[in-house]
Amino acid sequence: MSVSILVAGLLVLLFAPRGADRASAAVHSSLVASAGWGLLSTIVVPIVAVALAATILGLPLALALLLGLGLIWLTGLAVATYVVGRLVVRPPRSRVGALFAGWGIGAAIGLVPFLNLVWWTLGAVFGIGTIIVASWRVRSGRTDEPVPRPDRGGRHRAARRPPDGPVQLPDVVGAGDVTADAPVSED
């Protein structure tokens, strides 16, 4: 189980590194909301899936949802592992280092017979909640938690900003006196 959590965490950091940072920031600013949304979603989603399975039209969606719960659960546990690691390894440092720190803590808890089930259950619920809260904040445009961006080693790019006025087209040599408002002849 711990190897699966590590691989899932590395995949999360590979495909959504800023999303993992947003989830970590969501925990720091709203711990209770993350836990509440995680608990609510882990109760409501299976009930909705079973209710959908009762209808012929909802059966494919219900099966996909029920089969996808394992992936959602593992992703939530990987994000919770990263968040725990971020408590030890602070943000200017490596994301992968934070994941390994959290993974070490989770693997140590996983060796204790009863605590491993508590960690796998509550950790996944909490991770799912942090994903929901972080996604909600990004979609609503709330950016009050600054996400630190590590130095990229010289690969900096200029910030893109929209033009202030109307876009000016460059003059083309030999194009004549054609303007944007004048009709263009076909010959």
Phi-psi domain of 183 (left: phi exceeds 0; alpha: psi -120 through 50; beta: other): beta
Each residue of 95-140: pLDDT tens digit? 888 889 998 998 898 888 888 888 888 989 999 999 999 888 888 8
Higher pLDDT, 8 or 158: 8
Q: What is the pLDDT of residue 150?
A: 53
pLDDT at 91: 78
